[in-house]
Amino acid sequence: MISVSTDKAKLDVPFIQNFLKDIYWAAGRTIDEVQRTIDTSVCFGIYLNDKQIGFARVITDYVVFAYLMDVFIDEEHRGKGYSSILIETMMNDPQLQEVKIWRLATTDAHFLYEKFGFTKLNHPEKMMEKIVK
């Protein structure tokens, strides 16, 4: 049985860190850093028979802006629609219903996020970033 939960106590932090440490967008992230990101985000774990198989988190002010990050499904469980279940649950979460602007960054999953209304930026020329290395 598949379930999605926002209960941070259920999250398998070593499982999350083990996945993130090797993926391009979070390479090298330590377990302490993963824990800090969990502590300061709205987190969603997805579970198959109570075993965590995926994760996502949202950084938000709950009214104006939300940024979707660290979305993944464990490799052995991909291709079964679990990422869609995870994102649909997040987009329908009651505490996030007032958010007006959602953003995310992806290299290879545009097809997934487009199903939930995400599009390319209307005005990318207005966006700026600062990357600290």
* pLDDT (tens digit per residue) in 22-76: 877 777 889 999 999 999 999 999 999 999 999 999 999 999 999 999 999 999 9
Closest C-alpha among 1, 81, 87 to residue 44? 87
Confidence of residue 108 (pLDDT cuts 50, 70, 90): confident
What residue ranges define each of the domains in the chain, with the CATH number in brackets?
2-123 (3.40.630.30)
Question: Could you tell me the pTM of the whole model?
Answer: 0.92
pLDDT of residue 21: 81
pLDDT of residue 79: 93
Q: What is the pLDDT of residues 5-23, one digit of tens each?
A: 999 999 999 999 988 888 7
